[in-house]
Amino acid sequence: MSEGFLFIENSLINERLFIDKYAQCAYNNRMKIADVRKQLNMTQTEFGQLFGIPLRTIQSWEKGERKAPDYVMNMMEEILKSRGLLDNGTIDK
């Protein structure tokens, strides 16, 4: 095999690993937000209103289309703690 072909093949493998890792992170984040919302027995609309976050943003986080920023996760955690709604003390990030 030529060096050019090996470079392209390795690049494709690395890109695939990155995509798989990103998809797994998105899946983990989606489940955590959805699980917290469901434990609170809230709809996506109610959950978004609690934090001032648009419904479409909540939907995209739960579908794994986007990842909630860490600072937003921290804010949600603090609001839930202050209202006595978070029993275990943290939201997994």
Delimit the domains of the chain by residue range: 3-82
> What does residue 69 show for φ and ψ, rounded to 5 degrees?
-60, 150
Per-residue pLDDT of the chain (93 residues; tens, 9 = 90+): 556 555 555 555 555 554 545 444 444 554 588 888 898 899 999 999 999 999 999 999 999 899 899 899 888 888 888 888 876 555 655
pTM: 0.61
Domain 3-82 architecture: Orthogonal Bundle (1.10)
**Cα 8 from Cα 89, distance rounded (Å):** 46
The one-character DSSP state at 92 is -
Q: Please give the pLDDT value at position 28.
A: 53
CA distances from 27 to 1, 11, 54, 63, 64 (A): 37, 24, 20, 8, 6
